[in-house]
Structure 1
Amino acid sequence: MTHPTAPRVLITGGGAGIGAAIARRCREDGYAPVIIDRVVDHVPGGIQADLSNTEDTARALQEALAGGPITRLVNNVGVVVPNDAASQSLGEFDLAMALNLRCALQCMQALLPGMKKAGFGRIVNMSSRAALGKDLRTAYAASKAGLIGMTRVWALELGQWGITANAIGPGPIRTELFDKANPPDAPRTQKIIASVPVKRVGEPEDVSHAAAYLLDDRSGFVTGQVLYVCGGMTVGVAGV
């Protein structure tokens, strides 16, 4: 059980998949996760919100901060909207930008006064290996690359207050959505596994372990970085 005075961590999209794994790890590490998601019926104390909507996001953030400042933030919520470049609709593009990018900025700005006052902050932004380029991902890749750009700017601007900002770039991670799109025995899934140097897809816990490191008090000299949790798939693709 989390101690009532445990440091709080705001996790967007923490109701399932990678976000839920990060929440579990945070509890193990002695933090108190505050989860905002579209579906939170199964999440004790979860705050329900449509994070693609600015007004609903503001309302949820106000509710989260009613219990006091929060100095750790995981911008995890996101949407994929796969489509080829010629067919990617403006509606899909706007949704990806709202949920994957704008929401992260809005959450950071809401928590920032408390972080500055504390002289401490940890921001972890969930980007993706797709930011380096991936077919059928125009809107998704653009939003995730934008998240890396924002991460770097925040690292430069906020470091003077003891606030770090880093990004995680997951590769293929076995979640319910991944398994639905990639059945374990399907040839496409086997092709994905064969392309990963460690010869397996990742687990949500692989990403939560990376997030735990970046959220730690002792990671204060690491900022503005992208940690690819991809089994080696970005080797030869990402810049040195």
Structure 2
Amino acid sequence: MKGLCVLVTDACSGVGWAISRLLADRGCHVVGVAGNEEPIEFPGILYQCPPHDAGRMADMLRAIREKYPIDAIVNTTGLNVPAPLGEVSLTDLYDVFDRNVRTALQVTQALQDNMRVRRTGRIVNVCHHGWWGQASESTAYAVASAALAACTRAWALELAEAGVTVNAVLAGPVETEDFRERHPLGSDAEKQALAQLPLGRLGAAEEVAGVVAFLLQRESAFMTGQVIAVDGGAGLRRPML
């Protein structure tokens, strides 16, 4: 995978940050997209754009497409607004869907043509395990993650003839700042989250990044349309269909 030019969304926080660092360490040219306004020492080229601004994002993606030969895209989800069912606002639902699905669609639409022309490419969507029912108060995030997983299969079918693979990584509870904000150390919320995990611990962002990196390698070229769980075994509690 050395020398691949990979675009990573939400590249400066959580799992996206771990993915960016791992890919750079393995010799990839990383083009990051993030909304962070604070300066950061990014391991590649960083473009900053408010994720809710589709117009500015379109301009940014046009500039990226003209300047960089993107070989792979990693779409990471970036917004969760937990709320009980009766308190989910339509505004939050639309915002979460926009941030996690519209962004992935817009990025992939803008960059997939070059992959088609070269007849090779990789797309990896990082989804949240909540859409399998392992997270409470996650209606909006579950809807967005389920939609992104569905996009994965639809895009895999559409792009297969062009030699482009599309897979998803279903990430379970991961030790990030966002997780800790909602699950303080030693809190009941943390205990409830851990109780869902047969492995009995949180995942590390680097563990999710490692699976993403595998899906960008030559050895994964015969895989497409797959949703791979990296969730500490949480999916084992879901009844087999």
3-state SS in 1 of match to 2:234? coil
1:181 maps to: 182
Q: Matched residue pairs, number? A: 236
2:82 maps to: 82
Any conservation in 1 of the 2:130–2:141 contact (CA below 8 Å)?
Answer: yes
Of 9, 13, 30 in structure 1, the residue corresponding to residue 27 of structure 2 is: 30
For the aligned residue pairs, the C-alpha RMSD in angstroms reads 1.6
1:217 paired to 2:210: no
Of 87-96 and 130-139, deviating more is 130-139
Any conservation in 1 of the 2:123–2:165 contact (CA below 8 Å)?
Answer: yes
Q: Percent identity between the aligned chains?
A: 33
1:108 paired to 2:108: yes
| CA–CA separation in structure 2 for the residues paired with 1:239 and 1:149 | 19
| CA–CA separation in structure 2 for the residues paired with 1:97 and 1:193 | 27
2:195 maps to: 194
Q: Which stretches of structure 1, 4 residues or longer, exceed 3 Å deviation after superposition? A: none
5+ long unaligned stretches in structure 1: none
| CA–CA separation in structure 2 for the residues paired with 1:115 and 1:239 | 36
TM-score, length of structure 2 as denominator length: 0.92
TM-score, length of structure 1 as denominator length: 0.93
1:68 paired to 2:68: yes
Any conservation in 1 of the 2:19–2:206 contact (CA below 8 Å)?
Answer: yes
1:121 maps to: 121
1:11 maps to: 8
| CA–CA separation in structure 1 for the residues paired with 2:12 and 2:41 | 7
1:156 maps to: 157
* Cα deviation 1:130-184 (Å, max 9, x = unaligned): 1112321111111110001110011111011110111111111000111222122
Any conservation in 1 of the 2:5–2:68 contact (CA below 8 Å)?
Answer: no
| CA–CA separation in structure 1 for the residues paired with 2:171 and 2:83 | 20
How has the CA–CA distance of structure 1 residues 196 and 64 changed in structure 2, closer, same or farther, with 3 Å as cutoff? Answer: same
Of 32-41 and 178-187, deviating more is 178-187
3-state SS in 2 of match to 1:167? strand
Any conservation in 2 of the 1:13–1:76 contact (CA below 8 Å)?
Answer: yes
3-state SS in 2 of match to 1:86? helix
Of 59-68 and 157-166, deviating more is 59-68
Pairing of 1:161-176 with structure 2 (within 5 A):
161-176=162-177
Following superposition, the deviation at residue 94 of structure 1 comes to 1.0
3-state SS in 2 of match to 1:235? helix
| CA–CA separation in structure 2 for the residues paired with 1:213 and 1:17 | 19
Following superposition, the deviation at residue 85 of structure 1 comes to 1.9
Following superposition, the deviation at residue 80 of structure 1 comes to 0.5
* Cα deviation 1:54-101 (Å, max 9, x = unaligned): 112112212322323212000114200111222211111111111110
1:42 maps to: 40
5+ long unaligned stretches in structure 2: none
Q: Which amino acid aligns with 1:169?
A: L
1:56 paired to 2:53: no
How has the CA–CA distance of structure 1 residues 43 and 60 changed in structure 2, closer, same or farther, with 3 Å as cutoff? Answer: farther
